[in-house]
Amino acid sequence: MPTLKESSALAVLRIATGLLVFPHGLRKLATGPVAAIGKTLASHGFPPWFAYVVTLGELTGALLALGLYTRLSAATVALTMWGVVAFVQLPLVWELGTGRAVVLEYPVLLALTATLCALVPSTRWSVGRRR
């Protein structure tokens, strides 16, 4: 079986993570961040304007996918996703394995992959990598 070099595997992980997060920010931007998630945020104790912060965090997925400011963009995506997990989806932890916790599992996976990307150096496949 062919193998990937570590830098190529990390690049695939970084690009996939960014491309999965970015469209969520685009959707919120298109509909208006407050209109898209303002009520949900308010029901969890956040002011509706915080929807702009979440949207910006998700839009940063584009930078992550491109490999621009890789560690910073990865950290921003990670913080955004960990925030979704901690403040919105965490009660679903008791539903793990039942199929009802997918809305928790997805942001956990994205948070973990973004965290990993924030902890490792940029790969040769990053646009912003210093050569």
Question: Can you give the pLDDT at residue 77?
Answer: 98
Closest C-alpha among 82, 36, 74 to residue 55: 36
Q: Is residue 15 part of a domain?
A: yes
**Which pLDDT band holds residue 7 (cuts at 50, 70, 90)?**
confident
At 36-62, the pLDDT tens digits run: 999 999 999 999 999 999 999 999 999
Residue 53, classed as helix, strand or coil, is: helix
Query: Domain count of the chain?
Result: 1
pLDDT tens figures, 87-102: 999 999 999 989 889 9
Is the CA virtual torsion 95, 100, 103, 107 positive or negative? positive
The whole domain housing 14 covers 7-119
Q: What pLDDT does residue 118 have?
A: 96
Does the pLDDT value for residue 72 go beyond 70? yes
Apex 46 CA angle, 32 and 57, nearest 5: 55
Residue with tokens 């956990």: 108
pTM: 0.92
